[in-house]
């Protein structure tokens, strides 16, 4: 997810200055997390907006080692 945010940051700097950059919403980021095979801290694959907010604040770092699906 952090790589995706870095790519968005680079994209933001390549766009003309007169076009405002719009960050993706939490729902869009939730889809990215699901597609990247990240599970929520409780082991589900559906991310809620509030969980994405907490994820961006690095509140789920202790779960990262076991959050990627292997099946």
Q: Is 54 a domain residue?
A: yes
Q: Is 10 a domain residue?
A: no
The one-character DSSP state at 3 is H
Per-residue pLDDT of the chain (71 residues; tens, 9 = 90+): 667 677 777 777 777 777 776 778 889 888 888 888 888 888 888 989 888 888 888 777 666 555 555 55
First to last CA, the chain: 20
Q: Is 13 a domain residue?
A: no
CB atoms within 10 A of CB 25: 11
Q: Is 47 a domain residue?
A: yes
What's the domain count of the chain? 1
Structure tokens at 49: 């907006």
Question: Against a cut of 0.75, is the pTM above it?
Answer: no
Instruction: Print the domain residue range for 49.
Output: 25-71
Q: Is 4 a domain residue?
A: no
- What 3-state DSSP class applies to 44? coil
Please calculate the CA angle 37-40-42 and round it to the nearest 5 degrees. 130
38 pairs with which residues across the strands? Answer: 68
Q: Is 71 a domain residue?
A: yes
pLDDT of residue 36: 81
């Amino acid at each position: 997810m952090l790589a995706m945010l870095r790519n968005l940051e680079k994209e933001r700097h390549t766009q003309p200055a007169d076009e405002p950059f719009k960050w993706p919403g939490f729902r869009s980021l939730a889809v990215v997390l699901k597609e990247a095979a990240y599970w929520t801290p409780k082991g589900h694959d559906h991310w809620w907006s509030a969980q994405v907010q907490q994820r961006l604040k690095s509140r789920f770092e202790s779960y990262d080692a076991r959050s990627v699906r292997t099946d």
